[in-house]
Amino acid sequence: MVNAISVDLEDWYHICDFDNSIMLRDWEKYHIRLESNVCRILSIFDQFNIHATFFVVGMIAKNSPELIKRIATAGHEVATHGFSHRRIFNMTKQEFENDLLESKKYIEMAAGKEVLGYRAPEWSLKRNNIWALDILKKHGFRYDASAVPLSHLGGNYFGLYPYEIKTKFGSIVEFPLSTFRCFWERIPFSGGLPMRITPYFYVLDYTRKMNRLGHPVMFYLHPWEFDSEHVKVALPANRKFMHYCNLESTAKKIMLLLERMEFSTIEDVLELRKTNHSTHSQPIKYDKYHDGAYFKSVISFCFFIVSLALGILITAYLMKQYAFLLILILFTIFYWPWGLLFKRVNALFK
């Protein structure tokens, strides 16, 4: 089973609801870190003989076409991540279509390749803006990778594995974010913050489990995740945690995974383009899964769980008759309106 690996080619300041106008004016000043991070990612992929899908922000393709050309020349797939990194639900249908076509134009000009795929910034495809798939298919896109089958994000409307969705202009393939079941909710594990905080052994084991069931896993990375020294900006508490937590683990985890499993582009995994050669990695170079890194991850996780359990018990003991509040908080944690809560807290400090 070959899994899909992708890179959201955006810079550290492409954060929704964050004013990045200063960074865009001083493009040359900030762009150098993006180029060095992309070069590091390309070097890692080359080391393991792997081709990936790069979802490119169109603005980057416009300002730095030579970087996109280098990615395409190395044999990687190029797809679009929108032109200005705006979420779908923040745009009208016409604004979305204009944004999509502008990104497609600059990416294809730079790469010299047709763009077949799209990923919405911050997984912003929802049931009430499913019209975006009509527009994608209208302009020749073959697949979308924007859906998240989580109750508080994309919604349970979407499937768990790659499948076709009918649009006004024909069917388009949807490749949703990979998740695992945790009690009554689903949790992502294969990229971004979820992969950075999920123990390595569990990422590996659950990927192998999905592969045995016949399903590929979608992995995704960001260039800024390979740069723990990039500029830190003032963000709301939840976004600060999402962007800066455990960045040092990204490169180490992904290299361990690349060494043990097969990966390729999304178009190759979905068999959307006929080629004369295989574009996925060579046979597994290292098939010893239960090695030192694996057991170290297991031991570290067990230590964390024991420490957490002791902390909860001690807290409950100190709270005495109010301990039921702790149980209530833990019980509702998956459905707690964290976004609204953080928004209210941050408003108090403005």
Q: Where are the domains of the chain?
A: 2-269, 292-349
* Eight-class DSSP state of 191: B
- In angstroms, the CA 44 to CA 223 distance is 12
304 vs 56, higher pLDDT: 56
For residue 330, what pLDDT band results from cuts at 50, 70 and 90? low
- Torsion angles phi and psi, residue 265, rounded to 5: -70, 165
- Torsion angles phi and psi, residue 271, rounded to 5: 55, 50
pLDDT of residue 349: 66
pLDDT for 350 beyond 80:
no
| Structure tokens that stand for 125 in this block | 């495809």
For residue 281, what pLDDT band results from cuts at 50, 70 and 90? very low
Q: With both helix axes pointing from N to C terminus, report the angle between 237-244 and 338-349 in degrees, rounded to the nearest 10.
A: 110
Contact predicate 215/3, CB 8 Å: no
Q: Model confidence over 52-83: pLDDT tens digits?
A: 999 999 999 999 999 999 999 999 999 999 99
For residue 277, what pLDDT band results from cuts at 50, 70 and 90? very low
Q: Model confidence over 217-259: pLDDT tens digits?
A: 999 999 999 988 777 777 777 777 888 888 899 999 999 999 9
Q: Model confidence over 187-228: pLDDT tens digits?
A: 899 999 999 999 999 999 999 999 999 999 999 999 999 988
Q: How much of the chain, in percent, has pLDDT values that exceed 90?
A: 52
Lowest mean pLDDT across 101-110, 178-187, 199-208:
178-187
pLDDT of residue 278: 46
* Superfamily of segment(s) 2-269: Glycoside hydrolase/deacetylase (3.20.20.370)
Q: Model confidence over 333-346: pLDDT tens digits?
A: 555 555 556 666 66
